[in-house]
Amino acid sequence: MQREVLDGAKGMVRDAIIQKFDIKIMLSSSNTIRIADFGCSVGPNTFIAMQHVAQALKEKYLYQVKYSTNNIPEFQIFFNDHVTNDFNTLFRSLPIDRSYYAFGVPGSFHGRLFPSRSIHFAHCSCAIHWLSKCPEELLDEKSPAWNKGLIHYMGTSNVEVLNAYVAQFEKDMDMFFNARAEEIVEGGMMVLVTPFESYTRLFKFFGSSLMDLVNEGKLDASLVDSFNLPMYFPSPEDMTKVVEKNGCFSIERMELTYPKSKLVDEADAKTLMINLRAVLEGLIINHFGSEIAEETCARTILKSDEISTWMKANYEKSCQLFVALKRK
């Protein structure tokens, strides 16, 4: 799924660099371009994305200096993810023929990670939808946003649940943009790519498997009521609001795109659910334990035929949000 998102944004990332990134100014005081990839995980997608960014920057350099090949800039790429990320696997997997110097930066991207004015280009794909925490109101039985029996805002008729997710997303993005505004040089750029509700509709099938276990007496209902996925998938309006509130970045391009998705178009439910299992299983294990997590995920994958039928009846094109920003 993440590879499809990356592939769908590839051309737009290149266009943003070629059309909007002034590499001459960036190299006025040094011959090194510093790039950060936020939410890198363990590869290989991050390596594909970063090689593409470095290649586009080289093209822009050759174009701006009239095709001179003298003094081609060097690239430092900083791979960022949480401290729990397996950086050993990441660095063991580094491409041998890479055209950049690689560094690891552990820590949450909701806070500062780099010195002031040190990053020229920032990239974040399939990561900004992760919230720093679940909205607390979802866990309070007395709150109008109590999300009883559900594990996400998708599928709920309770607008208060959605509002709680939006409020948490806005708080997190406030921290994210404040940090990046300090770290990115004037004229530097940041590209954000995130799925837009394409796959989130399928979360409910994991929720229904958990409720099956509750109905069979194998799981306490209160455990499900206290579990919510810490993910919010922003709309263009959501992103515009948080960028404008921060005030440090200009929006160079923002649009919803509909790249071809073999998984969605062919309603390949089994492959999709295996992909989603890889994303969700850690969260489910942390809350319910490994035994319940294994049974929940296995049951959900066994529903593949039912899910495939549902996808065909409720077909929506794969959709993702692309945002290109420039530091004012």
Strands 101-106, 119-125: pairing kind: unpaired
* CATH of residue 7: 3.40.50.150
Per-chain mean pLDDT for the chain: 91
Close Cβ partners of 326 (under 8 Å, ≥ 6 residues apart): 20, 187, 188, 189, 190, 249, 250, 252
Closest among 123, 104, 106, 112 to 49, alpha carbons compared: 123
Residue 115 preceded by cis peptide, ω within 30: no
More confident residue, 103 or 71: 103
* pLDDT tens digits, one per residue of 162-215: 999 999 999 999 999 999 999 999 999 999 999 876 667 788 899 999 999 999
Cβ atoms of 245 and 172 within 8 Å: the answer is: no
> For residue 201, what are the domain limits?
1-327
The type of residue at 94 is L
- pLDDT higher than 90, residue 129: yes
Choice among 17-21, 43-47, 204-208, 309-313 with the minimum mean pLDDT? 309-313
- At 267 the pLDDT is 61
The total number of structural domains in the chain stands at: 1
Would you state the pLDDT for residue 248? 98
pLDDT at residue 68 tops 70: no
